[in-house]
Amino acid sequence: MIKKLACIAITFLILSCQAQETPTGFTEEALNDTFVNLNGESIAFKEMLSSYEGQMVFVDVWASWCRDCIEGLPQLKTIQKEHQDVVFLFLSLDKDIKRWKKGIKKHQIIGEHYFMQSGWKGDFGEFLDLDWIPRYMVIDKEGKIKLFKSVKLTDDNIKKALQ
């Protein structure tokens, strides 16, 4: 009897893990979440995406205080050189705008920059189920999420998604 219950429990776990699908599109709430650009203007995520329509977008959720984020920058810059046709979109979880801008300048991060004013628990962060940064995503030329979650630039799925 115990063996049967254990088998049922294991089967249930396997099926429940398989049932979770990786999103290929953003929720309406995530699309409507607002960010701040370098000029201090608020912009909805969907407006951001529409400005890169027809282009592949590499999303990097980061912060200037994040050790893993900063240590990964040399690798990221290599990826940028290899994929010059890709838009690199940096979404910052810094504690304030001043630190965010200082981090961009200090680390010479080239790309499109926005401050996540709603933070980890805002609609965008909740959609991503943010639990760690850096967090990388790839959005294809049709606006579909090609890679939903990666936390290491050495992840082979990043290379596959950018091809």
pTM of the model: 0.85
**Structural domain contains residue 117:** yes
pLDDT (tens digit, 9 = 90+) per residue, 102-121? Answer: 999 999 999 999 999 998 99
SS3 97: helix
Distance between CA atoms of residues 6 and 2, nearest Å: 6
**Structural domain contains residue 90:** yes
Beta strands in 57-144, from DSSP E residues, in sequence order: 57-62, 87-92, 112-115, 135-139
Which phi and psi (to 5°) does residue 146 adopt? Answer: -90, -35
CATH code, domain carrying 78: 3.40.30.10
**Structural domain contains residue 9:** no
- Residue 160 has what pLDDT? 95
**Structural domain contains residue 100:** yes
**Structural domain contains residue 73:** yes
Nearest alpha-carbon partner for 42 in 2, 97, 84, 83? 97
**Structural domain contains residue 67:** yes
The sheet carrying 145-150 orders its strands as 42-44, 34-37, 112-115, 87-92, 57-62, 135-139, 145-150
Q: Please give the torsion angle defined by the CA atoms of residues 130, 32, 163 and 110, in that order, rounded to the nearest 10 degrees.
A: -80
SS3 134: coil
Structural domains counted in the chain = 1
**Structural domain contains residue 82:** yes
pLDDT (tens digit, 9 = 90+) per residue, 19-48? Answer: 457 888 999 999 999 999 999 999 999 999
Which domain covers residue 98, as residue numbers? 24-162
Decide if 140 contacts 56 (C-beta within 8 A): yes
**Structural domain contains residue 7:** no
- Residue 150 has what pLDDT? 93
